[in-house]
Structure 1
Amino acid sequence: MERNLFNNRKTIRRGRRSQERKVDLDLTLVEMFERFMVVKKSEGLGERTIEDYQTHFRYFYEFLEGDLPSDEISIDLFREYLAFMIHDKGLKPMTVNLRVRTIRAFMRFCYTEGYINEPIHEKFKPIKVPEDTIQSLTPGEVKLLISSIDDQYYASYRDKIMILVLLDTMVRISELLEIKRRNVDLKAGFIQLEAMDTKTRKARIVPLSSKSIKLLTEYMAETEDFGSELLFLTYDGRKLTANTFRRNMMEYGDRAGIKNKRVSPHTLRHTGALFYVMNGGDPFSLQKILGHSDMSMVRKYIQMTNSDVKRQHNSFSPLNRI
């Protein structure tokens, strides 16, 4: 983060200092954050993760209305910030928690390095989020979405392929846009995601269905003349941005008449996970495909409606064995 964002320091609150632990360095909040970012960048984190740290710190800094010396940093400040985000700004719980997690990591670093006395990260925790809040698309809605795309033009044809591949592989949009042509093995039927292109910074292989293999075979043949290593490009051969694709998806959703649901790449990831399980896939292979190390994260991707549960129960009821 540029240093000039934090000029004209304004001290607004004073915290308590514990006498049990000495601070090694007398740094301001901004100076600590600058050291924190040096460490994070050295860890090889993705560009988006680095930007999130900077953006979320900027929000906190704006709330404080300026920089603070280390002896004025207390848990009370962070509790006030939490209340400000929830009640004053009216942010959704998931948005609040995204900001809390990055600032909490920063505070853990400050305490571990001896820049502050108080283990603020132990008390400044994410708030509870209601479960089953992410609405997946139904099979009928997916068909409407696909049929709303006029694929006689390159951009819409590319988008159609991307939507189907996203649904099939359940990769993140950031991962999809970094796929190189060399990463696609049509003969073996999988895509190799390189470590530097995944959110977890771990390479993984995602399988392709026979339908995706056929679609990608045709698409790659038609786009060979671009001469680029990237798989998905703009009509003039430049790298496609995630925001452009998100806007296109919203437009397709409007055309398809899908109301009260967010039509986005992330929705497709959740929809694909739900369809995978509903079609008989097991959660352990799904965990590997999604790239999650924690099964609890997989649980969040499988949001079944009551009718989904009823349909599964009819197929797998214990009484079917009797």
Structure 2
Amino acid sequence: MTETPRKSPIRERKGKNRVSARKTVSPAVNNSYEITLEEALELFVNAKKAEGMRLRTIHDYYQHIEWFRRFLSEFYPDVNFIQQLTADLIRNYINYLKDERNPFAGIDKRERPRKGLAVSTINIRLRTLCTMCRFWAEEGYLTTNPMEKVKLLKSDSVDDLTGFTEKELKKLFGVLDTRQYSCFRDKVIMLLLLDTGIRINELVNIEIQHLDVKQLTLTIPAEIAKNRRSRTIPVSRKIMKLLLELHKENKSYFEPTDYLFLTAYGDQAIPDTFRRRLYVYAKEAKVKRATPHMFRHTFARDYLLNGGDIFTLQLILDHADITTTRRYIQMNKDHVQAQHRQYSPASKYLK
């Protein structure tokens, strides 16, 4: 029986995760000089570029401040300079994000009827503001730091730290038509995330040279690792075989490239492309929630449930502090009961 060849790549929307060149501004000579939010952002970014900050992080800073700028434009049109920022204004921003902001507003096919962002999302934006306000104050552009007394939101929810159930994963894999290049590539991405727990931002930067086929390992070099520490992690034999198959298909479809994960145009894949496609898969599979990071949490949970130790897991996940690793492991009642039945020391004394 001959194997049916996989269909050629379906065209995906082309996108680049680039930070455009922006005009820099001259530093203020003293804090009496009024600085717009845009000028203040450039001062901050210019300093961080000099410190070696990655373009991805800089891109996120621009995005976070853009959302804050839109809030000011709608509700505080008279606030034009960072010297006008106050703790009360920022608290109003927090309440707006918590109660009024519509998730994915303006994004085609992703808008939702509910209002309010997740606590984790709000805190990410607040940390950006906190970092910038501290910089502006330390550099003398602000006489007082408006974020100094503003606290991050607290939450008792662990929803953002949960992984997939086995049933959800079967549904997600079930909607993938792997005769199509894009679906096959996405399946390999999902399986590699489940097999290694690596971050999606690390995954899209993997090159074929990072794979050691004989040793069955994947090296994440320092330049693409989140914490700028190189690490080598194991890869299952079947997953390694799929990675090599994907690379072979890349060579047959596209111009030569070292990157392993490509768009249907042959460009290097970006995280947002996979996030959007995963959202579509989840909707089709009737899975309530699906994000790339949930694969990482699923790996962490199941690694321990299958007998792995938490210290090895910490190394694989690249956590500097083991308390972070502990937070990743959220087990429901069924997991706890199954572990208790298997490992309770009392069972061996019962006849």
The reply to whether TM is greater than 0.5 is: yes
| Inter-partner Cα distance in structure 1 for 2:231 and 2:262 | 23
Instruction: State the AA in 1 paired with 2:321.
Output: D
Question: What count of residue pairs does the alignment treat as equivalent?
Answer: 301
The answer for the alignment partner of 1:14 in structure 2 is none
User: C-alpha offsets along residues 23-81 of structure 1, whole Å, 9 cap, x if unaligned?
Assistant: 756342523332111112223323332122112222223333342253x3332322232
The Cα offsets for residues 172-225 of structure 1, whole Å up to 9 and x where unpaired, read as 222111111111111111111222323333332222122212322333344344
- 190-199 or 305-314: bigger deviation: 190-199
Partner deviation per Cα, 1:224-247 (whole Å, 9 max, x = no partner): 444211111234422223333223
**Could you tell me which amino acid in structure 2 is paired with residue 110 of structure 1?**
W
Counterparts of 1:50 and 1:44, CA distance in 2: 10
Higher helix share: 1
Partner in structure 2 of residue 28 of structure 1: 35
Residue in structure 2 matched with residue 112 of structure 1 by the alignment: 138
Shift of 1:109: 0.9
Give CA deviations for 1:141-189 in whole Å, capped at 9, x if unaligned: 3233223322223222222211111111111222111111111111111
Q: For residue 52 of structure 1, what is the aligned residue in structure 2?
A: 60
How far apart in 2 are the matches of 1:211 and 1:200? 28
**Secondary structure of 1:103 counterpart:** helix
Q: CA deviation at 1:103?
A: 0.3
* Structure 2 unaligned spans of 5+: 1-19, 24-29, 102-115
Task: Report if aligned partners of 1:46, 1:199 keep a CA contact under 8 Å in 2.
Answer: no
User: 1:132 corresponds to which letter in structure 2?
Assistant: V
Confirm whether residue 38 of structure 1 aligns to residue 46 of structure 2.
yes
1:104 deviates by 0.4
Q: Secondary structure at the match of 1:195?
A: coil
Q: Percent identity?
A: 37
C-alpha distance in structure 2 between counterparts of 1:88 and 1:223, whole Å: 44
Equivalent in 141, 160, 165 of residue 138 of structure 1: 165
Q: Do structure 1's residue 127 and structure 2's residue 153 form an aligned pair?
A: yes
8 A contact 1:26–1:69 mirrored in 2: no
8 Å CA contact retained: 1:175, 1:197: yes
Query: Which residue does 1:159 correspond to in 2?
Result: 186
Deviation at 1:308, TM superposition (A): 0.9
* Aligned: 1:68 with 2:76: no
**Correspondences of 1:1-322 after superposition (within 5 Å):** 26-30=33-37, 31-64=39-72, 65=77, 66-68=79-81, 70=83, 72-89=84-101, 90-134=116-160, 135-225=162-252, 226=254, 227-255=256-284, 257-260=285-288, 262-320=289-347
Change (3 A) 1:176 1:2: closer
CA contact (8 A) 2:40 2:82 kept: no
- In structure 1, what is the Cα distance between the partners aligned to 2:314 and 2:33? 45
TM-score, length basis structure 2:
0.77
1:83 Cα deviation from its structure 2 partner: 2.5
Q: Which piece of structure 1 moves more, 239-248 or 96-105?
A: 239-248
Using the TM superposition, give the Cα deviation of residue 321 of structure 1 relative to its aligned residue in structure 2, in angstroms.
Answer: 6.7
**How far off its partner does 1:137 sit?**
1.4
- SS of equivalent residue, structure 2 residue 233: strand
SS in structure 1 of the partner of residue 173 of structure 2: helix
TM norm structure 1:
0.83
CA RMSD of aligned residues (A): 2.5
Unaligned runs of 5+ residues in structure 1 are 5-22
3-state SS of the aligned residue for 1:304?
coil
1:177·1:242 contact (CA, 8 Å) conserved in 2? yes
Question: Take 2:94 and 2:283, find their aligned partners in 1: how far apart are those partners?
Answer: 35
**Conserved 8 A contact 1:136-1:271:** yes
Change (3 A) 1:121 1:162: same
